[in-house]
A = this chain, B = another copy of it.
Amino acid sequence: MAQLSKQDKNDALRRIAETIRQNSQLICRANRHDIQAAKQAGLSEALIDRLLLDEARIEGIARAVEEIIQLPDPVGQVLSGETMSEGMQLINVRVPLGVCGIIYEARPNVTVDAAALCLKAGNAVILKGGKEAIESNKALTRLMRQALEEVELPADCIQLIEDTSRQASIELMELRALDVLIPRGGAGLIASVVEHAKVPVIETGTGNNHLFVDATADLSQALDILINAKCQRPSVCNAIETLLVHRSIAEDFLPRVMTSMSERGVELRADEVARRVLSSAKALTQTDYATEFIDLILAVRVVDDIDQALDHIATYGTGHSEAIVTTDYDQARRFQQAVDAAAVYVNCSTRFTDGGEFGLGAEIGISTQKLHVRGPMGLVALTSNKYLISGNGQVRG
């Protein structure tokens, strides 16, 4: 795998896209089994929608693979180099990571996205999707493996664990043969991976994010950003969960929050001070601050100043995306310096934390950890590097 040419990898990806496109009916049939089982199990409409594949979504999956073909191949890039003082040539070159384990939840498109990104980076991948999507995942994986064989690559560089038991998940987590383990999903999954993993883990996708509206904020701008960051797609990790409002503007701003949130069906849970203005809001509990609702629910707290906002974010934030709305230069600068998160925004929406938006192309998740990769995790984060030293007899003095 590590020694495949760029051409070979792109040919394989092209064949995967074609095979998926040509077999869309077969995929839809497999998917209907999952949908039926999901309905019988009484899963929510939102979950069933995430599970659903139709012709248009399958075309989207194939197109996403074709977009990965267009990305520059990171493998083999020379990152640095020099002639060492003893005369050897030293170069540091990008290489694949090796074997990636990816554990994810319901959405079957992740099966293809993750496999295609790993293939492009020269990695083998072991996939473990949610049990709800097992028939769809099996069909998609079978087609990808068939495509690999057609271009004479080993099918085993894309593997799906078909056993959907929890035990099978834990066995994958404990596998020392993996070079990296990437959980993609909720806090529970990530905690379980961190607990069991024996190899490096890249935590992705928990976003307990905040919007702080400062004393000097342009309140119309703040409201637009709030609506976008909370309501545009509440189920994603770059949405916000808590609104922090500076005490001095709370009376002006909160009534506008109440109107626009209630228009959009957002449930407000407010602290005592905020509830003096937000008459219809529920009283919040301490756990609300620590909860990633990923739903149309917003916690609201009035803070005395930026220090209290920074403390709140340091206490409850998950290091994903944090935003301030302010017209004060020093406060903007301070917020970006002091907040310890992957992405820190001034006067714009947290919804921009995304591989495509940040110019990295397709992503395998948003890393909330500080090592190896922080923020959107694209193709380059699926690689490592090695030093190559070429001499003619040098020994160390």
Chain A residues in contact with chain B, CB under 8 A? 2-3, 82, 84, 86, 88, 90, 95, 97-98, 179-180, 194-195, 198, 200-202, 218, 221, 224-225, 227-229, 232, 332, 336-338, 340-349, 351-353, 357-359, 369-372, 374-375, 384-396
In the complex, what's the smallest C-beta–C-beta distance from A269 to chain B, in angstroms? 23
* A343-B390 contact, Cβ under 8 Å, with A370-B180, A371-B200: no
Q: In the complex the two chains form, is A370's CB within 8 Å of B224's CB?
A: no
Copies in the complex: 2
* In the A-B complex, the 4 residue pairs with the closest CB atoms: A348-B391, A228-B395, A370-B384, A351-B396
Residue of B nearest to A176 (CB): B194
Task: Report the separation of the CA atoms of residues A372 and B97 in the bound assembly, to the nearest whole angstrom.
Answer: 11
Residue of B nearest to A90 (CB): B358
Residues on B with C-beta less than 8 A from A200 are 200-201, 369-372
Q: In the complex the two chains form, is A224's CB within 8 Å of B351's CB?
A: no
Task: Report the separation of the CA atoms of residues A43 and B201 in the bound assembly, to the nearest whole angstrom.
Answer: 38
Other A-B contacts than A202-B371, A228-B395, 16 sampled, CB-CB below 8 A, are: A3-B337, A3-B338, A82-B359, A86-B352, A194-B198, A200-B369, A225-B395, A227-B395, A346-B389, A347-B392, A348-B392, A349-B394, A352-B396, A353-B387, A357-B396, A370-B384
Residues on B with C-beta less than 8 A from A202 are 371
In the complex, what's the smallest C-beta–C-beta distance from A372 to chain B, in angstroms? 4
Residue of B nearest to A370 (CB): B384
Task: Report the separation of the CA atoms of residues A227 and B237 in the bound assembly, to the nearest whole angstrom.
Answer: 56
Task: Report the separation of the CA atoms of residues A20 and B362 in the bound assembly, to the nearest whole angstrom.
Answer: 51
The A interface, classified by DSSP as helix, strand, loop or mixed, is mixed
Task: Report the separation of the CA atoms of residues A95 and B224 in the bound assembly, to the nearest whole angstrom.
Answer: 30
Residues on B with C-beta less than 8 A from A343 are 386-389
Contact partner of A224 among B82, B341, B387, B393, CB < 8 A?
A: B393
Q: In the complex the two chains form, is A2's CB within 8 Å of B97's CB?
A: no
Contact partner of A393 among B218, B338, B351, B371, CB < 8 A?
A: B218
* A374-B385 contact, Cβ under 8 Å, with A200-B200, A349-B394: yes
Q: In the complex the two chains form, is A88's CB within 8 Å of B348's CB?
A: yes
Residues on B with C-beta less than 8 A from A374 are 384-386
In the complex, what's the smallest C-beta–C-beta distance from A178 to chain B, in angstroms? 11
Residues on B with C-beta less than 8 A from A180 are 370-371
